[in-house]
């Protein structure tokens, strides 16, 4: 599931990566930044939850402070979706 897609207004492609997760903590969020689409980091549920709870997104490569509100919103949505999937 894509939460953001690269466009003229967004440099990020962020999506729930397919995985063979055995539990919610194994679910992965991919965070790619243009122009290097096609590869980028993935973060598991626990790491995303920690970033959101601390409001610290510095683990995301090429992140700028202006991206933090987008990350907060999108990462929180991912956590909510995973929680619903596993409840």
| b/e sequence 71-83, b meaning 16+ C-beta within 10 Å | beebbebbbeebe
The pair of three-digit structure tokens given for residue 5, joined into one six-digit string: 């897609």
Evaluate whether 6 touches 37 at the Cβ level (below 8 Å): yes
Q: What is the pTM of this model?
A: 0.93
pLDDT digits (tens, 9 = 90+) for 28-80: 999 999 877 678 899 999 999 999 999 999 999 999 999 999 999 999 999 99
Q: Which residue has the tokens 């992140």?
A: 63
User: Could you state, in order of their start, the residue ranges of all structural domains in the chain?
Assistant: 2-86
């Amino acid at each position: 599931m894509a939460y953001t897609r690269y466009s003229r207004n967004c440099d990020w492609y962020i999506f729930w990566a397919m995985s063979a997760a055995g539990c919610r903590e194994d679910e992965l969020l991919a965070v790619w930044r243009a122009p290097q689409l096609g590869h980028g980091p993935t973060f598991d549920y626990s790491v995303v939850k920690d970033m959101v709870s601390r409001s610290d997104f510095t683990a995301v490569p090429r992140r700028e402070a202006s991206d933090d509100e987008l990350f907060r919103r999108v990462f929180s949505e991912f956590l909510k979706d995973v929680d619903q999937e596993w409840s």
